[in-house]
Structure formats: C-alpha cells, structure tokens
C-alpha cells in the first residue's frame, strides 16, 4: 500500500463554537468553520475545486450535500457526503487528502458538522448508524464501562483505584477545555468532583462521559509542493489509517474487552506510512477518541 506521507498539506483550519447551539442551525455552524478556514488559508472560496462533507445525524437534508453547498455557495463543483459513524470526520479528511494526492484536485475543502442536540436530550439514539436489532439497548457509556471494569480486573486495580485513575483523565480534559474559547465545557473540575458525580454506567460518572455537542470544523488541503505558496507553516500529512471488522467487537469470539483490534490496525497503518517506529518516543501529543 502506498503512503500518503508528505504528498498533501493542510493550509487552513477553522471551527465553530462547540456546545448546545440552540442559537444556530447546522448551516450557521458550517459557515463559521468554513470561512475561518478560508481566512486562515488566505484563499478565495471560489477557487475550491471539490469538497468532502462528513455528517451522521442530518437526515435527508444532509444526504446530498445540500446543507453545505447552499450556505457556502459552492455550486458547480463535486461534493461528496460521507458517513462512517465515529470515523466520519476522519473519512472527510482522508478522502479529501486522497483526492489531492491522486492529482485530480489542487485545492479542496474537508468539513464536518453535527447538530446532536436537535435529536433530543440523549443525542444519538439506537438506529442512528447502528443496527436496531444487534445494538438494541446498548449505549456508549455502558459499553465502555465494561471495558473499564475488565481493565480494572485484569490489571489488579481496586474499584477505588480504577475510578480515581480514569477520573484524572476528566480533570485533565476539563483543564484543557478551560483554555479553549470554543470548547463546549470551559470549567475546571477537581478529582473529588469526578469521584462524587452521579454515575452514568459504573465506573463512568457524569464527568467521564462526553457531552452531546453541536459544532463544525473545516480544513483546506493542497498538494504538498504547493503548500508554501499559501503560508510558511503548512501541516504536512504523514499518515492516515483506517480499519474495520466484519463483526461487532462484543460478538467476536475471543474479544477480551481490553482492546479494539481495529484501533491497533489503523494505528499501525498510520505509523508505517509516517515512518514512526517508537510511538511513545516520537509522538508528542495524542488526541484519543472515547
């Protein structure tokens, strides 16, 4: 498999304010993120040659990119809507990068947007991206709670030790959010607050589970050799990984509730493309989903 390393670059990025955006529709948030990316890249949106749009929760209006083409006035160019559950944002960026790396396009937009709160208080429900039969009654907190308890058991952590350990992640994440003006939650919390918060699915409490957030983010991608024509500090893509399985993890024989093979496979793909041989030494920051 050929590597994407140093074939494409990001020259502009933008994102909307995230949170419970009762003040804005998905069109408004798309405009916020896209125009910030245009400004960051120093481009005229009329020069965009193609776009990939990632969204999961927009029934009907999102299926044909209508709610992207109309507010952004991007008429007459190829626009592709992608949906790949938790990988949707990555899919928009990955396909945009591949479109540029192929030589087909020289300036493309990758954009993702979700309006989770419009689906009701719980956000995503069974049937949105999942099988309503195989996934009936299963929730994200419940599933990951089983991973946590199995981890405690396997590595000899008491319930108290385990909960305090994962609680430190919530404290760290809220601290980071407190410094970001566009974050959904901008309040610092203490470990004791995490420990005493209402339980959602033991051992995961209120602060261990992500909020249902509305928001949008965008990136402008160009060929690597063209990137410095736009700015002095482009971001060069080093590796992109993607992995799926034919079975849901919990239905797979031998699944140990400690790791997800797809995560391992996709990471290895990206590391191999980037030439990363010792991630712990070479990776400076990791933003890990869930």
CATH code for the domain in which residue 64 is found: 3.40.47.10
Tokens of 274: 């980037």
3-state secondary structure of 130: coil
Q: How buried is residue 159: exposed, middle or buried, by Cβ count under 10 Å (0-12/13-18/19+)?
A: exposed
Same domain, 107 and 229: yes
The predicted structure's pLDDT at residue 140: 83
Q: How buried is residue 33: exposed, middle or buried, by Cβ count under 10 Å (0-12/13-18/19+)?
A: buried
Look up the domain containing 185 and give its range: 140-208
- Nearest Cα to 55, choosing from 68, 45, 38, 43? 68
31 found inside a domain: yes
The predicted structure's pLDDT at residue 49: 98
Count how many domains the chain has.
Answer: 2
pLDDT at residue 125 greater than cutoff 60? no
**Residues in Cβ contact with 42 at an 8 Å cutoff, skipping those fewer than 6 apart:** 12, 230, 231
Tokens of 194: 């995490």
The predicted structure's pLDDT at residue 1: 74
Same domain, 226 and 183: no
The predicted structure's pLDDT at residue 70: 87
The predicted structure's pLDDT at residue 156: 97
Question: What is the rounded distance in angstroms from the CA atom of residue 132 to the CA atom of residue 174?
Answer: 33
Between 159-178 and 140-154, two packed helices, what is the crossing angle to 10 degrees?
130
The predicted structure's pLDDT at residue 152: 97
Mean pLDDT of all residues in the chain? 90
167 found inside a domain: yes
Each residue's pLDDT tens digit, 53-97: 998 876 555 456 777 888 899 999 999 999 888 889 999 999 999
Same domain, 81 and 225: yes
pLDDT at residue 130 greater than cutoff 60? no
Same domain, 164 and 179: yes
Q: Which residue has the higher pLDDT, 56 or 269?
A: 269
Same domain, 216 and 204: no
The predicted structure's pLDDT at residue 18: 96
Q: Which of 208, 230, 251 is the last residue of a domain?
A: 208
256 found inside a domain: no
pTM of the model: 0.90
Tokens of 210: 């992500």
């Amino acid at each position: 498999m050929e590597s994407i390393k140093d074939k494409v670059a990001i020259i502009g990025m933008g994102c909307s304010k995230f949170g419970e955006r009762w003040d804005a529709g998905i069109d408004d948030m798309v405009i916020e993120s896209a125009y910030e990316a245009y400004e960051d890249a120093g481009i005229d949106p009329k020069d965009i040659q193609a776009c990939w749009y990632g969204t999961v929760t927009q029934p009907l209006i999102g299926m044909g990119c209508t709610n992207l083409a109309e507010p952004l006035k991007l008429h007459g160019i190829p626009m592709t809507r992608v949906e790949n559950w938790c990988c949707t944002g990555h899919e928009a960026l990955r396909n945009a990068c591949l479109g540029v790396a192929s030589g087909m396009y020289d300036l493309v937009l990758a954009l993702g947007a979700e309006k989770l709160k419009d689906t009701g208080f719980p956000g995503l429900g069974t049937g949105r991206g999942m099988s309503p039969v195989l996934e009936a009654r299963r929730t994200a907190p419940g599933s990951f709670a089983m991973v946590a308890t199995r981890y405690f058991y396997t590595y000899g952590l008491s319930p108290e030790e385990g909960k305090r350990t994962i609680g430190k992640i919530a404290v760290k994440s809220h601290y980071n959010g407190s410094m970001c003006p566009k974050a959904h939650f901008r309040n610092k919390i203490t470990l004791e607050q995490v420990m005493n918060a209402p339980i959602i699915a033991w051992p995961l409490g209120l602060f261990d589970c992500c909020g249902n957030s509305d928001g949008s983010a965008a990136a402008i991608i160009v060929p690597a050799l063209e990137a410095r024509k736009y700015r002095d500090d482009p971001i060069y893509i080093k590796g992109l990984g993607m992995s799926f399985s034919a079975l849901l993890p919990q239905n797979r024989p031998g699944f140990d509730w400690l790791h997800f093979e797809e995560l391992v496979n996709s990471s290895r793909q990206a590391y191999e493309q980037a030439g990363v041989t010792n991630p712990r030494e070479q990776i400076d920051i990791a933003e890990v989903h869930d």
